[in-house]
Amino acid sequence: MADQFDLECRNVVKTFDDFTAVNDISLAIPKGSFFSILGPSGCGKTTLLRMLAGFQAPTSGDILIKGASVLGVPPNRRPVNMVFQHLALFPMMNVAENVAYGLKRRGVDKATITQKVNETLARVGLPDAGPKQISQLSGGQKQRIAIARCLVLDPAVLLLDEPLGALDLKLREHMKVELKQLQHEIGTTFVYITHDQSEALVMSDQVAVMNAGRFEQVGAPQDLYYNPKTAFVAGFVGESNRWHGTVEGGDDHKIEINLASGGKVIAKRDGQTNLVTGQGVDVFVRPEAIAIDGTEGADNSLSAKVDNVLFNGAASSLQVRELVTGHEMTVALPQTGAFASVKAGDEIRLSWSVEQTRCFASTEGGAGA
Amino acid sequence: MSKTASITGGSAFRFGLLLLAMPLLLWLFLLVILPHMDLFLVSMRERISYGKYEFSLINYIEFFAEPLYWNTYVRTAVMSILATVLTLVIGFPVSYYIAKVMRGKGKNALFLMCLIPFWVSELVRTFGWMILLRESGVISNFLQWAGIADGPVEMLYNDAAIMVGLVYTSMLFMVVPLVSVLDSLDDSLIEAGYDLGGNAFTVTRDIVIPHAMPGIASGCIVVFMLTLGNYLTPNLLGGKDSLWFTEQIYTQFITRFNWESGSAFGFLLLILSSAIVWIGLKLSKQTLSETVG
């Protein structure tokens, strides 16, 4: 059963003195999938990745690669390779030597090395880059060479430590698609860590959202976006309007909430039986879930005044302020251009359904946005 | 109009530059070029009688004709190269430990510990070694007390003692450039080396040493020059048998009062050090400018 997974962590804990960087993490990554670990900086994701690579040993728990425990196996004997944050290409070698480095360490004969290096360079789309110096490559090319250097070794798992962080925005968007494509073609299991939710959502089959050393939620990108299980996930993944309030009542399907800023909303219960009357909760509504000039009789509705129109093509939005309480909100503009005439100072009526309103007990500490 | 202005401006600028560079130029001319020119002229003459000199190559011929001279010459070169290599072999792990293994306060403390011996003069440091190594010294007494040696052990006045003194004296000049060059090596390069299957040996050989090469070269040049031109340490720790070439020069100038021969020897030492540094740079594929800069 365990061989189904390329990589497994069982109750992995890592503490530094009295600081717990990674707190009881268990995960199982199926063969050939693109798995991302998404979290804010300092959440322990790099520590987790370094434990997978073998640069740090877990305080307790077990790490298995292809069903075999790798505890005590040094990094140079693990069947995983890592693409470093700043790529760590060897400047003292040319591109071909960089790619050949791992094969040489394995004692592969020269003819095979040359052949494999050429194959791998072709696979990442840089067949003629071999004799070039590292300093002659562009950012995107360096990226591909860093990946080629690992792929040539046929690792069971490829670990990527925010490798797109150093690229400029445009190249980053491009590399996102390219990386996903590449992973799809070669079928190697990728474990990708990032603090950029867009990278994680676009590329991954599965995303684990990590916060303060723990996994908040593991699931498909759609799952995380539409069905967040914790306040942190709801706030961290995607844009959200957020309120603080207390539970007033409700039934098995709905929760009525009195907002701290005044007013009342009805949220989906979503099986959260622990939310009882009087409890403090955080309420989240996605900007695109809110209808402008919504029909009468919607579950939740309020009037607001437009502060700003943020036109950005398909991703345009309005910054609005609720009339009664002054609470600031963001509302997505429909892509049809139906409300193109809305301008700052206009009063609009907003509405959204119970299904689109989520609330979570707010005792779990502050979540970043 | 504007042309004249620019010309006067240019010459003023040039004059200012000249003025700024004057201390350096004076230093170079008066203390380096002029003495060497005189040294060269003196080395190319022969004293016929009191106050009478003639052009001659006799001083250089004498050097090659007398085995003691060129034996000392070759021995000094070989010992200096050996001392440089030993300093590198000992200094490299020390520098690596300071630059890459230690963190924070410990790092500065270790670096300072390398520096502290150099706050006292070379003479005092060498006497320190004499106190340790001599027949009635600390180590000899300890060996007798521990029952390992029956009588007093003389550890001074041999090549090993010279070597110890030279390596100790030069260590800082190797450690400083090595620490700075190793400090600039990104840790993730070393980790990537391990991650891709390298072990301590191959990572050091393929990644750390190529990166550190400019530091190694500059450290070696400084240590080699200092060692080759050292007079005090070989003389005190090696005694009469030390046969260091600088002692020959001293003897020619001071004891024999033969300035002509001494000058020739001085020039030969300059040629030797330049040649060996040049060969070293060629072998390590470094250039002087990138090593110094």
How many domains in chain A? Answer: 2
- Give me the pLDDT at residue A369, please: 34
- Give me the pLDDT at residue B1, please: 44
Asked whether residue A305 is domain-assigned, the answer is yes
What average pLDDT does this structure show over B55-76?
89
- Give me the pLDDT at residue A3, please: 56
What average pLDDT does this structure show over A205-232?
91
Nearest Cα residue to B273 out of B235, B213, B223, B219:
B223
Asked whether residue A367 is domain-assigned, the answer is no
Of A199-213, B7-21, B101-115, B217-231, give the lowest mean pLDDT range: B7-21
Tokens of B171: 């260590």
Asked whether residue A301 is domain-assigned, the answer is yes
The answer to whether residues B241 and B157 touch, using CB atoms and an 8 Å cutoff, is yes
What average pLDDT does this structure show over A191-219?
91
Most confident stretch, A294-298, A332-336, B159-163, B256-260: B159-163
- pLDDT band (50, 70, 90) for residue A267: confident
HEC string of A53-104 equals HCCCCCCEEEEEECCEECCCCCHHHCCEEEEECCECCCCCCEHHHHHHHHHH
CB-count exposure of residue B151 (10 Å: 0-12, 13-18, 19+): exposed
The C-alpha of B196 sits at a distance from chain A's nearest C-alpha, in angstroms, of 5
B194/A contact by beta carbon, under 8 A: yes
Contact A153/B194, CB-based, under 8 Å? Answer: no
Q: Are A21 and A170 found together in one domain?
A: yes
Contact B194/A86, CB-based, under 8 Å? Answer: no
Q: Which of A231, A253, A268 is the last residue of a domain?
A: A231
pLDDT (tens digit per residue) in B138-191: 999 999 999 888 888 888 888 999 999 999 989 999 999 999 999 999 999 999
A113/B contact by beta carbon, under 8 A: no
Contact B193/A90, CB-based, under 8 Å? Answer: yes
Domain ranges, residue A81: 5-231
What is the DSSP secondary structure assignment for residue A143, as one 8-state letter? H
Angle (CA) A347-A259-A308 rounded to 5° is 30
Q: Are A171 and A281 found together in one domain?
A: no
- pLDDT band (50, 70, 90) for residue B7: low
Q: Are A112 and A178 found together in one domain?
A: yes
Contact B195/A153, CB-based, under 8 Å? Answer: no
The answer to whether residues A333 and A320 touch, using CB atoms and an 8 Å cutoff, is no
Q: Are A204 and A251 found together in one domain?
A: no
Q: Tell me, what CATH number does A72's domain have?
A: 3.40.50.300
Asked whether residue A368 is domain-assigned, the answer is no
Q: Which of A201, A231, A261 is the last residue of a domain?
A: A231
Tokens of A6: 């390329």
Q: Are A173 and A252 found together in one domain?
A: no
Which of B185, B186, B188, B195 has the highest number of chain A CBs within 10 A, making it the mutation to test binding with A? B195
- Give me the pLDDT at residue A304, please: 87
Q: Are A134 and A72 found together in one domain?
A: yes
Q: Are A105 and A156 found together in one domain?
A: yes
Contact A75/B210, CB-based, under 8 Å? Answer: no
Contact B195/A90, CB-based, under 8 Å? Answer: no
Q: Are A171 and A319 found together in one domain?
A: no
The answer to whether residues A298 and A291 touch, using CB atoms and an 8 Å cutoff, is yes
Q: Are A55 and A201 found together in one domain?
A: yes
Asked whether residue A254 is domain-assigned, the answer is yes
Helix axes B105-115, B159-183, angle to 10 degrees: 150
Alpha-carbon span A208 to B225, nearest angstrom: 60
- Give me the pLDDT at residue A368, please: 37
Asked whether residue A156 is domain-assigned, the answer is yes
Residue B211 with chain A: CB contacts under 8 Å: 91-92
Give the amino acid at B6: S
Q: Are A202 and A303 found together in one domain?
A: no
CB-count exposure of residue B139 (10 Å: 0-12, 13-18, 19+): middle
Q: Are A18 and A130 found together in one domain?
A: yes
Per-position b or e across B253-262, b if 16+ CB within 10 A of its CB? beeeebbbbb
Residue B205 with chain A: CB contacts under 8 Å: none
Task: Select from B188, B189, B196 the Cβ nearest to the Cβ of A102.
Answer: B196
**Mean of pLDDT over chain B:** 88
Asked whether residue A332 is domain-assigned, the answer is yes
DSSP string, A155-222: -SEEEEESTTTTS-HHHHHHHHHHHHHHHHHH--EEEEEES-HHHHHHH-SEEEEEETTEEEEEE-HH
- Give me the pLDDT at residue B2, please: 47
Q: Tell me, what CATH number does A324's domain have?
A: 2.40.50.100
A107/B contact by beta carbon, under 8 A: no
Contact A85/B199, CB-based, under 8 Å? Answer: no
Q: Are A172 and A197 found together in one domain?
A: yes
Per-position b or e across A297-310, b if 16+ CB within 10 A of its CB? eebbbbebebeebe
Token pair 């494999």 in the structure block, residue = A116
Asked whether residue A369 is domain-assigned, the answer is no
Q: Which of A231, A252, A283 is the last residue of a domain?
A: A231
